[in-house]
Structure 1
Amino acid sequence: MEGLEAPHRGVSLSAQLVSSLRAHIAAGRWPVGTRIPPESVLVQELQVSRNTLREALRALVHLGLLEARAGDGTYVRASSELESVLVRRAASARSEDVFELRAILEEYAAGLAAVRRTTDDLAELRRLLGCAEEAGRTGDMETIAAVDGEFHRALVRASGNEILAEVYEYLGSALTSALGALTWNAEAAAEHDRLHGQLVDAIEAGDETGARCMAASVVQATRHTAATARREAAE
C-alpha cells in the first residue's frame, strides 16, 4: 500500500504503527470520510498481528482520527488531532455560531483573494463554477454538493494565506458535522451558482469590498438553504 510502511521489529510495535497510520492519514492518502482497508488487508500489508493492528486502530479511534462503525468497518473521521477537536467542539455549538464563524473566515478570505489571487487561483475557481453549472443542468445534486465544498476551499486558498487555508481545511469537517449535509435542490443550486459567479467576478476585478459582500451573501444563502431543509424535515 503506497506510503504506508510496516513498523520495524522492536519495542512497541503498536506505537510505531500508530505513528505510521497517523502520517498516512495526515498526508491525505486515506481522505476524511473514507473507509480504511479491512483488517485482513492491513495485516498482510503491514506484516503485523491482528492484535497489534487492533491496538493501533483503537488508539487512533481514541484520538478521534478514526471512527469504528459496527457492521460497516472503520472510517477516517479527521486528518489530525486538531481537526478532531474542532469536529467535536462544533458538534456541540449552536448552528448560528457555526455560520458566523464560516462567514468571518470566508469574508476575510474573499477580500484577500481579490487582492492576492493568482491566474491559477482564478482559473481553478472558474473551472469549479463550470463543474457546478454542468451538474446543475443534469440534476446531479451529489456532484453539486461536492463541488460546492471544493469551491469554498479553493476560495480560501486563493487568499494566499497558508495558515488560514489550513485552518479552514480542518474546519471543513467541523462545519459539515455541525450543520449536517445540505439538502440541495435545483432552486438552491441555481442561486448558489449565481452568487458564486458574482463572487468570482469581484475577485477577478480586484474588488475587495465587493468580494467580501458576495462571500457574506453566499453564507446567507447557505443559511437559508439549511433552514429550509430543517423546516421541511420537521413537517
Structure 2
Amino acid sequence: MHILLTRPLEDCSEMIIKFKSLGNQVSHLPLLRIDKVNYQEINFSNIKGIIFTSANAVKFLDLKNINKNFLCFCVGSATEKKARSVGFQNVIVAEGNVENLKELLLQNFNQKDGTLLYISGETVSVDLDQQLLKEGYDIKRVINYRATHNQNFDDKFVNQLKLNMPDMVYVYSQNSALSLLNFIKMHQSESLWMNTNLMCIGEKTSSILNEIKWKKIFLFNPGEEEFLLYKI
C-alpha cells in the first residue's frame, strides 16, 4: 500500500518507520512549516495547571522557570510523550481531540484551583480558552509557534507522485487541509485522487477538501493511524 504522510518530518518520522516495517511504501509531503513565535515572559506565580494541544507547544516553550509538577493536560499521546520527555510528571492525556481534553479538564481541575496556562499555536481549530472562560475558569493563552504553508515542492517528487498516487493520505489539521488543497490546485492534479482514501482529523478538516473527489473519507483520532490501514 502507498501511504502519503503530510506532517513535518519530526512529527511523523516514527510513523514512517512503522508503516515501512509493515511493508508499505511511504511518501512524505510536509505541507506546513512550524516556526517559533517569541512571547512575553510568563509569570508562573499563580499558575496551577498547564494545557498543551500539540507537541510543538511543548517544544517551543521556555521551560527553565516552570514547575514540572504542574498538573499538565495533553491533547493526545504524542503531546504527552513530548511533555514527559522534558520532565512533566503529573500528566493527564486525552484521546487525541480537544473536545475530550475539555471534558478531562472539567473533571480534574476546579475553577477555584487557580490559573490555567494554555500553550498553543497561532491557529487553532477549537477556541479552548474561550470555552473554558465561559465555564468560569481563569485561563491565560500563550502563542509560541505558527504554522505556515509550504509553497516550494520538489518537481521530481511531484512528478513521481502523479505517476504513483497514494492509496491513503493523512491530514491532521484545517491548516494542513488548506495547504493540501493549494498543492493539488497548484499542480493541477484535481482528477488524480479518485482512488485515494482521505484520512482526516475531524469533519472541519475534511470539509475543506470536499471539492476534490476521493475514493472514501475517514475521520480519525491521533493514534489510530495504523488501525486505519485495515479499514480500506
TM-score category, normalised to shorter length: under 0.3
Q: Which has the higher helix share?
A: 1
TM-score of the superposition, structure 2-length normalised? 0.27
